[in-house]
Structure 1
Amino acid sequence: MLLPYHQLDFIEAGCDEAGRGCLAGPVVAAAVILPTNFDHALLNDSKQMDEADRYVLRDIIEDQAIGFAVAFVDHEEIDRINILNASFLAMHKALDQLQVRPGFILVDGNRFKKYQEVPHACMIKGDGRFFSIAAASVLAKTYRDDFMRAIAPEHPEYHWHTNKGYPTIHHREAVLKHGFTPYHRRTFRVTDPQLDIIFESAVFSDQ
C-alpha cells in the first residue's frame, strides 16, 4: 500500500529516475510535490504498471501536483561521470526546476548526493511505498519512453520502440551485429547471457 510521507512543517518532493540500466539513451529523473490529500488507485511503482495506466496517471499527476519537473542527462554525460553520478545529476536538475522549493526530499533507492541544504531520506523500493516517489517514477519512465520511441526510427534494427534501450537479448544481438549507435553508452559492457560472452565497447565501431 502506498503511503504519504508528509510532515506538518515541510513540503515534500519525491524523486526517482528511469533508464539507469539501459545500454542506450539518457537517464531521466523526475521530482514531484503532491498535495497532502492526493490518492489514486492506479498509482504504484511505474515498473509494476501497464503502459496505458502510466500515461493516464501522468496527466493526472501533472494536473494535480503542486509542482513537478523532469530532467534528462544524456549518454555522453553518463559516460563522462558514470551512471550513478548521472542519476544524481538528473535528480538535482529536476529539483532545480520545481516551481515550489521543497523542505524535504524523498529519494527512491539507498544512495543520494545531498541537494543544496535540503534534508532527504533514501527509501529502498520507495516507488512502491510512497505516493510522491511513485508519481516521480511515472513521470521519469513515461518521458524517457517517449524519447526512446522518438529516436527509434533512426536505428530501427535495435527495436528501441519496444525495449527502450534496455539490455534485452535482441538489443545485445543487434549491437553485436551492427555496432554502437551515437546514442549508446560506451562505458557500458554488452553481455549476452545465453553465450556467456562479454563484448567490450572497444570492439564496436561507430555508425
Structure 2
Amino acid sequence: MTSEPSEDRDVPWAMQLVVHRDRANPAREVDVAEAAASAVVKLLADERSAPGGPWHEAVRTWRNVQIRKLVRRADGKRWDDVQSLPGVTVVRASTDDDAAAAVRAFVPAPVRPLPKELHKLQVSGTQFPEGGGSRNEDAVVTVEVAPGLGISSGKLAAQCGHAAQLAWEAMPRDVRERWRADDYRVRVVFPTAPEWIAVERPVTVTDAGLTELDGPTETTRAWWG
C-alpha cells in the first residue's frame, strides 16, 4: 500500500532509497550513486506517478513540501523484504572486476511511521569503496560532485538523486525521451576544484546542511547532452 497524502506539515516527507550492500563484495561508490540517481528518475517517470496513477498524489505532495531523500542499506533477507513495498529497483550489472550496484526507490511518504521493513534499516554510516570512474561514458545525463565534500556514500547517493531529479524536471521533452530510451542511465563524475569553478551547469543542488554538511552547501550539478 502507498501512504495517503497528508497535510500535516509537522511530519516531514521523504523518498526513501535502499541500497543493497553485499558485505563480502560491495559495489563501488560511483556505481551506487549512479543507480540511486536512475532509480529516483525511474520512479518519477513511472506511469504510476502520473496524474491518475496510484502514486501520483504521494509524489505530488512530497514535491510540494521538500524533495528530501533518505538512504538506507540492506543485505540478505532485509533487501528481499523491501522489494514488496511500492517502488522501483535499479540494478547496474556487475563486471569481471566490480560487483553489481542495486538501489530501490520507494514512493514518497511521511518519515514516520514507516513500514517495519524500512524502519529497521540503518541510515547513517552507509559507505561503499571508492575507486575507478564511471563506466557510463555515453549517458544522456551527467552529474558532477563538488570536490572536498567529505560525505558518506549514502549522502552522495541522495545528492546525485536530487541532481538527476532536477535535470529530469528541467530538460526538454525530446531529451527526456532520449533518456527514457537509455533506461535513465546517469554518469557521475568528480571534477577537480579548478574544473568545478570553471563552468556553470543548468542544474545545481544546494544541500540545506541538516546532515553531514555544516550549513547550506552546493553539492552536485547536472547537465545533459
TM-score, L = length of structure 2: 0.27
Q: Which has the larger radius of gyration?
A: 1
Task: Compare the two structures and name the one with the higher strand fraction.
Answer: 2
TM-score, L = length of structure 1: 0.29
Task: Compare the two structures and name the one with the higher helix fraction.
Answer: 1
